Amino acid sequence: MRSSRPLESQTNSSLPFMKFTPLPFSLLLTILFPLSASADKVRNVLLIVSDDLKASALGCYGNSICATPNLDRLAARGMVFERAYCQGTWCAPSRASFMHGRYHGKGGQNMGSFFRSQGLHSARVGKIYHMRVPGDIIAGTDGEDIPSSWDEKFNTRGHEAHTPGDYACLNLNLFTREQEGRQSTAMPHRMFVSVKADGKGSDQPDWEAAEKTVALLRKHREKPFFLATGFVRPHYPHVAPASYFEKYPFANLPLPPVPEDDWKDIPKAGLSKSTSEKTGIAKWPDNQRRMWSAYYATVTFMDAQLGKILDELDRLKLTDSTAIVFISDHGYHLGEHQFWQKSNLHEEVTRVPLIISVPGLEPGRTRSLAELVDVYPTLCSLLNLPVPDTVQGKDLSPVLGDPSATVRRAALSLQGGDHGLRSDQWAYLRYRGGGEELYDMKNDPGQFTNLAKDPSHQPQRKAMAGLLQECLRDLK
């Protein structure tokens, strides 16, 4: 059915070794191409998208503090891509990009619309394309959704910063239970807001997302579906029931190490617009710890909602026929380099979780480079559908069958006219104004020593610059 699996369409006579083996053809194929055989079990797709979730916050990505038992459970039965990268560095461009399988997020048929046209029931719960958080969540509005992607869609709602409970605006060092004066939609300090919410969380948008997803699984269990569920946490405001904050007492949390002269070798264009100094949080080291506590609390709360969906998939016996993909739109800075938030090409922002669980496939972990634009063609492959010509990503199926396989030499991230390129060992960032950064990710994973101007690293810089040119040429 798919042209990219040529062996399946060949006749026995075109395989000369066949006559020397007593194995039935189908069994031989199973041995040679375990993915092909297993992927035939995939009838449905569940795509789960978290918001502003950095890979390094997760237990299954090596974090020893933050509890994510349900993601760890998914990771244990799927393929964990340890080095997956977003194409856009904030919500809107990243989401448009992976939904179209195109770097700039425009053109061609998006994933929802394509799967719909191929007979899958396509449904959205919550934030898949860009929605303003908190604005669209409080209003229950569509944001930049593309309605033609879906047979049905549901927006999740919540009170966000106005949720009853212990509110804090940490860069201003404000703590209150009052509603008055809380930083909310479009206000300048909303990024540093947390609420230790009263209650168990049933008023939260991600709780609603899990409930609605469970309902849709029950409703559509009999027919093929593409169900995309978007959680909004750990995006700010960091709202979760107080009990989730209690798991992470702030005083115990380490702050990321930042060398004295960290910025000396970062070009101006590479510095975040949101720094510890500018935002005011530099004055409050304990509040920086509280930011980590709040971020972890919302990650663990989001994870608990994911758990309800995984339980229901198992209960309905849909796990046997459903490919599950978990991603985030991009990562996040929480004081690394004294940077906060997103829209930056450094590793904490560009590296994202990517877990793909396929019924019948061996679980594993891979260091193969992957991009979020690869999700779309990979799902086409798992569903035995052709990949639309407009899709620019690569099919990761070879890696799902063999974690040592690779499909790309580098992973590309874009931000305006600036670019980040990640290879096996190097991270190369290049800015419109001409500034460059080059990091040896094996020996300097924190990206503290920019080698772009180091005479002994010019061969590596030139090689990465050349590879970037190649990648950008292929985009056109």
Which of 116/238 has CB closer to Ca ion?
238
Q: Which residues pair with 370 in a beta bridge?
A: 84
Return d(Cα 8, Cα 180) in angstroms, integer: 65
Asked if 158 and 136 count as a contact pair (C-beta separation under 8 A), the reply is no
By the rule CB under 5 A, 52 interacts with Ca ion: yes
Q: What minimum distance in Å lies between the beta carbon of 95 and Ca ion?
A: 8
Return d(Cα 280, Cα 272) in angstroms, integer: 14
Which of 70/328 has CB closer to Ca ion?
328
Return d(Cα 463, Cα 323) in angstroms, integer: 37
Task: With H, G, I as helix, E, B as strand and everything else as coil, classify residue 6.
Answer: helix
Q: What minimum distance in Å lies between the beta carbon of 191 and Ca ion?
A: 12
Q: What minimum distance in Å lies between the beta carbon of 262 and Ca ion?
A: 25
By the rule CB under 5 A, 51 interacts with Ca ion: yes
Return d(Cα 391, Cα 394) in angstroms, integer: 8
Distances (CA, A) of 19 to 9, 12, 228: 18, 9, 46
> Which residues ranging from 116 to 175 are in contact with Ca ion (CB under 5 A)?
none
Return d(Cα 330, Cα 352) in angstroms, integer: 6
Which of 78/234 has CB closer to Ca ion?
234
Which of 71/400 has CB closer to Ca ion?
71
Q: What minimum distance in Å lies between the beta carbon of 128 and Ca ion?
A: 12
Task: With H, G, I as helix, E, B as strand and everything else as coil, classify residue 276.
Answer: helix
Task: Pick the stretch among 4-12, 88-96, 134-142, 216-224 that binds Ca ion (CB under 5 A).
Answer: 88-96
Which of 51/206 has CB closer to Ca ion?
51
Q: What minimum distance in Å lies between the beta carbon of 99 and Ca ion?
A: 14
Tokens 């796990």 map to which residue? 319
Identify the residue among 91, 120, 239, 369 touching Ca ion (CB under 5 A): 91
Which of 50/70 has CB closer to Ca ion?
50
Task: Pick the stretch among 45-53, 178-186, 262-270, 305-313 that binds Ca ion (CB under 5 A).
Answer: 45-53
Q: What minimum distance in Å lies between the beta carbon of 330 and Ca ion?
A: 6
First-to-last CA distance in the chain? 29
Asked if 131 and 205 count as a contact pair (C-beta separation under 8 A), the reply is no
Rounded to the nearest angstrom, the gap between the alpha carbon of residue 179 and the centroid of all alpha carbons in its chain is 33
Region class of 159: left (phi > 0), else alpha (psi between -120 and 50), else beta: alpha
| Binding characters for Ca ion, 178-217, by CB under 5 A (x = yes) | ----------------------------------------
By the rule CB under 5 A, 329 interacts with Ca ion: yes
* Contacting residues toward Ca ion, per CB under 5 A: 51-52, 91, 329
